[in-house]
Chain A
Amino acid sequence: MGRLASSQRMSQPSKRQYYSLFGFLTRHIQAAGFSWRRLWRAPLASLMTIGVIGIALCLPLVLFVLVQNAQMLTTNLDHRGQVNLFLESSLTETELNEIFQALQIDVAVANFHYISPEQGLEDLQRETGLSDILQTLPNNPLPGVIEVTPAPEVIQQDRLQSFSQSLQQLPYVASAKLDMQWLQRLNYIVNVAQQAVNALLVLLSLAVLLIVSNTIRLATQNRRQEIIVCKLIGAHNRFVRRPFLYSGIWYGLLGGLVAWGFVTGLLWWLYAPMQRLVNSYYLEYHFTGLSWTTTLLLIGLSVGLGWLGSLIAVNRQIAAMEPT
């Protein structure tokens, strides 16, 4: 039995009105509006709480975006999965054609690109600016190179290693090089960073929870008198705690928006130097900022933490405040 059986006179709103969607919405909108106005009664205190939440969430988020970019960068590299064939020196035209034909009929080869020793030397001079030193060499020390791109199935089925070995068997090929080890290490580093970001996110979410919880706990104590008066005139714990829960939600929402602002600003600031870093490795890559999904998840997380933090603070506090 949740309510009293009789005693509801004509003056009371009917149960239907109380439990209707309209009544439900009215009470929530009233509580939400009330907490919103109350938030700005003490703007400095509210802004400080919101700022702390924003900064706490901003830190793991910036790292998250950086790690995400690093991850995409390494997968991009992964998919390049190129095998470089270093040819024996001074091959004739027919010998070269022999290799080309062998590559053309190999179904595992998607395409290939020949770089002659002369072209290789030219590229090296252009890209490194070592032309003075290179010009002092008596003859071209570079071998001819064929860059072989494997068919997608080879990469998908993880057969790069055996593919590289089979190319090694071709005539006139001095060595086939598939340098994956550094990529793998980079992958491991990115994984470690990702785990660290996850741990940081959990820790700082906990911090947000505690901040909101403490703020709301203080608010309930400051408004002890009001809580007791409300209970005296027939308010349930639900009614009393609703504005506090909305306060938590507002803190979370605004904190999340502040975090979003900080992250966007920081990434904008970091964009140029990071792009320079990537370009220095001759990589074609454009940094991505916060996606819409991530932004929505951030706001959702932040609102959820605000709600949960205030729920933790409010439940026991309000139950303990009874009129005497």
Chain B
Amino acid sequence: MGKVSNIMIEFNNVSKRYPSGQEALTQVSFELDTGEMAFLTGHSGAGKSTLLKLIALIERPSQGQVIVNQHNLVRLTKQQAPWLRRCMGIIFQDPHLLMDRSVFDNVALPLRIVGYRQSEIGRRVRAALDKVNLLHKEKTFPDALSCGEQQRVGIARAVVHKPNILLADEPTGNLDPQLSSEIMDLFEQFNQVGVTVLIASHDLGLIAAKKHRILTLQQGRLTSWGA
């Protein structure tokens, strides 16, 4: 598979102004290579979530271009958004699990959406649960799990379909330092097998311990994008 470009995520002078008039991002430009891992940091309200939402096509930029996996998102229609989202895994601070389904069914959801066979679903879901050390909880319902376990189920769901990109918005926000560190290790493991990872976090202590690029947002402007 000959690569035309080595860039997975590219922002060109992107600004985002919400209908309320609030300017969340101003003239943001950066590139993230395929297989790279980076952190996105800044105070709350600095525009971290907005930036991730632009990548996942949950929001659209008011100005500038966002290019993800060689697709110019400006040109993608609303109907094409699901196809884009299938090549990424998204992890939230609140893992957004469906409480009326077992852990297994929660993790299987992305595969069911794409239309995998039942046997294949079983194999992949167990592999993903094994990765986050929750294989023994596959029949449990989410409300019987601890915060950390719920977050790990959310991660298993985000990676079960082997996405190219992993986006995480404050994934360790509710967790103690020990668990946070374990989860960061997990992200690094995914990164090592070639997944592009972008993690928004304000936990500077945790980020500094890792040797990855840090993008810093201040009031909607990218103030640093070095290592």
Contacts and interface: CB of A to CB of B under 8 A. Distances in A.
Q: Do A and B come from one complex?
A: yes
Interface of A: 1-4, 6-9, 11-13, 17-18, 22-23, 26-27, 30, 41, 225-226, 229-236, 239, 322-324
Contact of B98 (A4, A23, A226, A234): A226
Interface in B18-38: none
A324 B87 CA distance: 19
Contact of B116 (A13, A239, A323): A13
Interface stretch (B144-152, B157-165, B183-191, B210-218): B157-165
B223 interface: no
B71 interface: yes
B6 interface: no
Interface in B88-117: 89-90, 96, 98, 100, 109-110, 112-117
B178 interface: no
A324 B50 CA distance: 10
A232 B100 CA distance: 18
B57 to A, nearest CB: 9
Nearest to A8: B87
B221 interface: no
A226 B106 CA distance: 11
B96 A236 contact: no
Contact of A13 (B79, B100, B114, B157): B114
Given A225-B96, A226-B98, A233-B109, A6 B114 contact: no
Interface residues of B, number: 34
Contact of B96 (A4, A18, A229, A234): A229
A232 B57 CA distance: 9
Interface centre among A12, A229, A233 (most CB of B within 10 A): A233
A230 B113 contact: yes
Given A1-B80, A232-B96, A239 B113 contact: yes
26 contacts: A3-B83, A4-B80, A6-B69, A6-B70, A7-B70, A7-B83, A9-B162, A17-B115, A18-B114, A22-B117, A26-B115, A27-B112, A30-B112, A231-B82, A232-B85, A232-B90, A233-B85, A233-B90, A234-B82, A234-B85, A234-B86, A236-B79, A236-B82, A236-B113, A239-B113, A323-B58
B102 to A, nearest CB: 12
Nearest to B59: A324
Contacts of A23: 115
Contacts of A8: 87
B113 A233 contact: yes
B80 A18 contact: no
Interface of B: 56, 58, 69-71, 76, 79-80, 82-87, 89-90, 96, 98, 100, 109-110, 112-118, 120, 157-158, 161-162, 164
A148 B59 CA distance: 88
Contacts of B86: 12, 233-234
A229 B98 contact: yes
Nearest to B111: A13
Given A7-B69, A234-B113, 13 more contacts: A2-B80, A4-B83, A7-B164, A9-B164, A17-B115, A18-B114, A22-B117, A26-B118, A230-B113, A232-B85, A233-B85, A233-B89, A234-B84
Contacts of B96: 225, 229, 232
Contacts of B90: 232-233
Contacts of A234: 82-86, 110, 113-114
Interface centre among A4, A22, A230, A323 (most CB of B within 10 A): A4
A229 B96 CA distance: 7
A324 B58 CA distance: 6
Contacts of B112: 27, 30
A303 B69 CA distance: 44
A18 B71 contact: no
B87 A233 contact: no
A17 B111 CA distance: 13
A193 B83 CA distance: 56
B221 to A, nearest CB: 23
A189 to B, nearest CB: 55
A7 B116 contact: no
Contacts of B110: 233-234
Contacts of A225: 96, 98
A239 B111 CA distance: 12
Nearest to A24: B115
Interface centre among B70, B71, B82, B85 (most CB of A within 10 A): B82
Contacts of B117: 22, 26
A3 B80 contact: yes
A235 B82 contact: yes
Nearest to A324: B58
